[in-house]
């Protein structure tokens, strides 16, 4: 049987190793452009950022989109933005997950906690294996 102090130390070590893997994510980025010209480039987002796709609409004009990373407080908001001399109504759609903002805003999936649960379970199994081996 493992000493409780050693068990706590191992638990904290695995927690600090695995938490950054869950918190940070990769997203696609493209600057504001018309719908068909978005050249998606991979970017690394901060720990507290979500991936987003923003879609802009203006009466009688093709829609515009933008992609990247954003803080959660900006998710689901509409706001006016000026692009090529035209005011568009821009809506930001957010998601959580690796490269979840691929495609169009209609394709963005609702955030799930499946990744967090999977990493937690993997860490727990690894911890149990380490305890068994020690």
Instruction: Give pLDDT tens digits for 41-88.
Output: 999 999 889 999 999 999 888 899 999 999 989 899 899 999 999 999
Domains in the chain, start-ordered, CATH in brackets? 4-133 (2.10.60.10)
Q: What is the pLDDT of residue 67?
A: 96
Higher-scoring residue by pLDDT: 25, 26: 26
Ranges of beta strands (E only) in 35-107 are 41-44, 49-57, 64-71, 78-83, 86-95
Taking the model in full, what pTM does it have? 0.61
pLDDT for 25: 83
Contact 20, 47 (CB under 8 A): yes
């Amino acid at each position: 049987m493992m000493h409780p102090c050693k068990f706590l130390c191992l638990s904290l070590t695995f927690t600090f190793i695995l938490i950054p893997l869950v918190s940070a994510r990769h997203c696609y980025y493209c600057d504001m452009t018309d719908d068909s010209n978005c050249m998606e480039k991979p970017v690394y987002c901060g720990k507290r950022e979500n991936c987003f796709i923003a879609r802009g609409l203006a009466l009688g004009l093709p829609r515009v989109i933008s992609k990247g990373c954003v803080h959660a407080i900006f998710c689901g908001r509409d706001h006016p933005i000026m692009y090529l001399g035209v005011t568009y109504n821009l809506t930001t759609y957010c998601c959580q997950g690796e490269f979840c903002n691929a495609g169009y805003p209609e394709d963005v999936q609702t955030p799930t906690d499946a990744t967090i649960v999977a990493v937690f379970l993997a860490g727990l199994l690894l911890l149990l294996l380490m305890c068994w081996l020690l």
